[in-house]
């Protein structure tokens, strides 16, 4: 198992991976743990604006930093039902 510190765009999180396989010169791994630096906490909770998580955009082959909060889980979607 290896630990990877994500330094893309100054992100402050780490993930531990377990190697699964090599295929077509690519390594495939299973993420078994994700953690953040203590500097990314505000009042003991993860502050997403400090972590700067990223997401992959397969349509444009690009990475984007996740932005602002747009709603609350389990509540915001009720209006759409």
pTM of the shown model: 0.52
Q: Percent of the chain scored above 90 by pLDDT? A: 7
Higher-scoring residue by pLDDT: 20, 41: 41
pLDDT score of 27 more than 70: yes
- Mean pLDDT, all residues of the chain: 77
Q: Are 35 and 41 in contact (CB under 8 A)?
A: no
Q: Which two tokens stand for residue 58?
A: 């397969």
CA distances to 32, 34, 47 from 65, rounded to whole Å, are: 22, 17, 14
């Amino acid at each position: 198992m290896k630990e990877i510190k994500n330094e893309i765009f100054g992100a402050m999180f780490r993930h531990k991976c377990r190697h699964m396989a090599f295929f077509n010169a690519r390594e495939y791994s299973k993420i078994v743990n994700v953690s953040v630096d203590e500097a990314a906490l505000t009042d003991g909770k993860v502050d997403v604006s400090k972590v700067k998580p990223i997401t992959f955009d397969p349509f444009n082959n690009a990475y984007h930093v996740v932005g602002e909060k747009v709603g609350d889980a389990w509540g915001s979607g009720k209006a759409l039902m």
